[in-house]
């Protein structure tokens, strides 16, 4: 979570940080695990395809504003950082109603609904990418915050943990916190089902809890091949990235973590992402020379196997892609966003 990286940066400056999140979202577990307190709201995302559900979601958001106001008062909040998403809407409105300075953070190449609604009254809008029409003093391109653990992960320790030999090549496969079913299935067929002679590299596969049972079954049917590690979830993506030489993943916000770790990538944009922002993210990496892009509809085990083997067998190209990935990194993004929050507190009437 980018917000956790900012919270860590605020804590390093002597500030206290707490969270407001949704009851059924990952933050309900991730935030306490990271050592922060969280207040939970009963809200849900806006379903644009179902008018009745959309009306219901809007009603929940409206009802959540008073609850957010109470939480902000009880926590003694001096400023609010909104990270987009459907929780940020009611919390941002609550902050404005209490005359608390509001800073927004946008991880995508367009402003989401909550950020569009709140941007005019925010002190600062921190952008992961430049957005056309969003220029001027209110907007600041900071990059997307990434955890310090990604930047500082130790490759040797990571490889010891995942039992990967120091000299071996390693492919990391992941699809976000929930996994990516098309990537999971194609990767298993491409790398678990292939003869050992066709795969002279390790595979570290984080498939997500949703697909873990199916992936575990498929791996068993393939005879539990050596040098293939399957995980349902990994809280420290920094260690997984440090252990890898190449990444196969979606092209969401995790591209900033891939870039910060300096890892070459095969990116498969999620085809139904809002405004096709994952395609834009993938192009951003590919144009730098840091990634190869495959359409989800074109995923094929044979093509994927040959592409991964070819890249992992070409040390010079991997090095060039790694340099290109680091050129896209914004390792100080969390500190820059935290600085905007602290500035808003110090200048409440700006």
Question: Mind listing the pLDDT tens digit for each residue in 113-133?
Answer: 899 999 999 999 999 999 988
CA distance 99 to 51: 33
The model's pTM: 0.88
In terms of residue numbers, what domain contains 251? 149-327
CB contact at 8 A, 191 and 305: yes
300 and 316 inside one domain: yes
pLDDT beyond 70 at 178: no
Condensed to tens digits (0 to 9), the pLDDT of residues 244-286 reads: 999 999 999 899 999 999 999 999 999 988 889 899 999 999 9
pLDDT beyond 70 at 144: yes
107 and 181 inside one domain: no
CB contact at 8 A, 244 and 233: no
299 and 191 inside one domain: yes
12 and 111 inside one domain: yes
pLDDT beyond 50 at 350: no
Q: Based on the structure, what is the number of domains in the chain?
A: 2
CA distance 126 to 158: 32
206 and 220 inside one domain: yes
121 and 198 inside one domain: no
Beta bridge partners, 80, equal 102
131 and 30 inside one domain: yes
Alpha carbon 289 to its chain centroid, in Å, reads 21
Closest by CA to 272, choosing from 296, 294, 301, 300, is 296
244 and 99 inside one domain: no
CA–CA distance from 181 to each of 9, 207, 238, 275 (Å)?
A: 34, 8, 22, 21
CA distance 84 to 116: 9
167 and 136 inside one domain: no
138 and 245 inside one domain: no
161 and 102 inside one domain: no
What is the β-pairing status of strands 228-231 and 202-206? parallel
Q: Which of 5-9, 209-213, 218-222, 271-275 has the lowest mean pLDDT?
A: 271-275
The chain-wide mean pLDDT, for the chain, equals 91
What pLDDT score does 57 carry?
Answer: 66
Residue 6's domain is classified under what CATH number? 3.40.50.2000
CB contact at 8 A, 80 and 100: yes
Question: What is the pLDDT confidence band of residue 86, given thresholds at 50, 70 and 90?
Answer: confident
Q: Which residues, other chains included, contact 20 with Cβ-Cβ below 8 Å and sequence gap of 6+?
A: 38, 39, 40, 41, 68, 71, 72, 87, 91
Please compute the mean of the pLDDT values over residues 45-56 and round it to a whole number. 66
Handedness of CA 204, 210, 214, 217 (dihedral sign): positive
173 and 316 inside one domain: yes
């Amino acid at each position: 979570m980018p917000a956790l990286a900012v919270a860590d940066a605020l804590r390093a400056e002597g500030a206290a940080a707490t969270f407001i999140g949704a009851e059924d979202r990952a933050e309900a577990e991730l935030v306490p695990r990271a050592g922060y307190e969280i207040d939970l709201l009963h809200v849900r995302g806006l379903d644009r395809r179902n008018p009745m559900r959309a009306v219901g979601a809007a009603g929940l958001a409206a009802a959540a504003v008073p609850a957010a106001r109470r939480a902000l008062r009880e926590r003694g909040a001096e400023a609010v950082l909104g990270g987009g998403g459907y929780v940020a809407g009611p919390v941002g409105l609550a902050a404005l109603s209490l005359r608390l300075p509001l800073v927004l953070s946008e991880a995508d190449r367009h402003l989401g609904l909550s950020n569009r609604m709140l941007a005019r009254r925010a002190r600062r809008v921190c952008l992961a990418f430049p957005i056309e029409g969003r220029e001027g003093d209110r907007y600041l391109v900071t990059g997307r915050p990434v955890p310090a653990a990604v930047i500082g992960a130790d490759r040797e320790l990571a490889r010891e943990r995942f039992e990967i030999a120091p000299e071996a090549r390693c492919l990391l496969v992941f699809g976000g916190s929930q996994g990516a079913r098309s990537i999971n299935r194609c990767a298993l067929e491409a790398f678990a089902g292939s003869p050992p002679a066709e795969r002279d590299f390790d595979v570290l596969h984080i498939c997500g809890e949703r697909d873990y049972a199916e992936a575990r079954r498929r791996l068993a049917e393939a005879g539990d091949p050596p040098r293939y590690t399957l995980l349902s979830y990994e809280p420290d993506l920094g260690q997984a990235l440090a252990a890898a030489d190449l990444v196969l993943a979606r092209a969401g916000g995790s591209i900033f973590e891939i870039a910060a770790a300096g890892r070459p990538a095969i990116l498969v944009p999620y085809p139904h992402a809002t405004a096709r922002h994952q395609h834009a993210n993938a192009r951003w990496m590919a144009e730098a020379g840091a990634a190869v892009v495959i359409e989800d509809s074109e995923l094929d085990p044979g093509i994927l196997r040959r592409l991964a083997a070819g890249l992992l067998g070409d040390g010079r190209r991997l090095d060039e892609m790694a340099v290109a990935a680091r050129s896209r990194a914004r390792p100080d993004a969390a500190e820059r966003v935290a600085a905007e929050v602290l500035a808003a507190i110090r200048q409440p009437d700006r």
